[in-house]
Copies of this chain bind each other. A is one copy, B any other.
Amino acid sequence: MHTKLFLKGRLRHELGTQEKQWLEDCISRIVTIQPRETLVRRGQRVEYSYYIIEGVVLRHLDDRGGERQLVGLNIPGDFVDLHGFPMKRLDHSTTALGDVKLAEVPHSAIAGLVEKSGHLARALWFSTLLDAAMHREWIFRLGRLNAEGRIAHLICEIIERYRFVDLYDGHTLPLQLLQRDYAEACGITSVHANRSFRTLKERGVLELSGEGRIEVLDEAELKRLAEFRGDYLYGDGDLALESLEDRDEQASR
């Protein structure tokens, strides 16, 4: 079952067995792409969406000088461009980080799916809105945090998302981002990304081991530096929300 990770761990949106099968049946073929290979380019019309079975895909916009700004990153269990189904074309480009294995799903099949099941339609819609929620937090990251906080925030997000799909062991984060990629995600130069990693190491919150692995030494401190609140990822365990809601209500009385 290729799509077993879809919406895994997400609040009230895990799929039933029947629904998972329907989704699985929509796959037209399995595609593999090479490191740094482009999947879809900005402006392109699309008739398929891609679901990640293995690997990581970067989503980015390019400025006039050709410099990239990452606007998102997808991991196993994510659709990369399900929004292409209602939008019909992409406004940004997508590129493989390492080797990536994808399930290709034709939009015609998705159209059948949303007709067949209202609940599944809602779940697909929800999954595209998770991207939007993450985008908002990326805006916050760039607008309100300094370089060190931005990198910490990005790493916190990836830790949480890896947790949902059981790819994080609580210590080593397997993620092949180059320091240049962190820089392109955080709106800083790679030189400054390197400086920031140094201070993070000096604080004892993480270590960089080879192959792009990150050793997380002090997750609590990492979250503090990032002002990280993970509720925007809409995880299952996020009953913290209830109490947050209560607090707000009390504050407004």
Mark A residues whose CB is within 8 Å of B: 11-12, 41-45, 59, 61, 63-64, 67, 69, 71-72, 83, 86-89, 91-92, 114-115, 118, 121-122, 125-126, 128-129, 131-133, 135-140, 142-145, 184, 186-187, 227, 231-232, 234, 241, 244-245, 248, 252
Contact = CB atoms under 8 A, between A and B. Distances in A.
Contacts of A63: 140, 144-145, 227
B86 A122 contact: yes
Secondary structure of the A side of the interface? helix
B137 A61 contact: yes
A241 B88 CA distance: 12
Given A86-B125, A135-B135, A143 B142 contact: yes
Contacts of A86: 122, 125-126, 129
For the complex formed by this chain, how many copies does it contain in all? Answer: 2
24 contacts: A12-B88, A41-B252, A42-B248, A43-B244, A45-B245, A61-B136, A63-B145, A69-B139, A71-B136, A86-B129, A91-B133, A92-B136, A125-B125, A125-B128, A128-B129, A132-B132, A132-B135, A135-B135, A135-B136, A135-B139, A138-B139, A139-B139, A142-B143, A143-B184
B115 A118 contact: yes
Given A89-B241, A91-B232, 10 more contacts: A41-B248, A43-B245, A44-B248, A61-B137, A61-B140, A63-B145, A64-B227, A71-B140, A129-B132, A135-B138
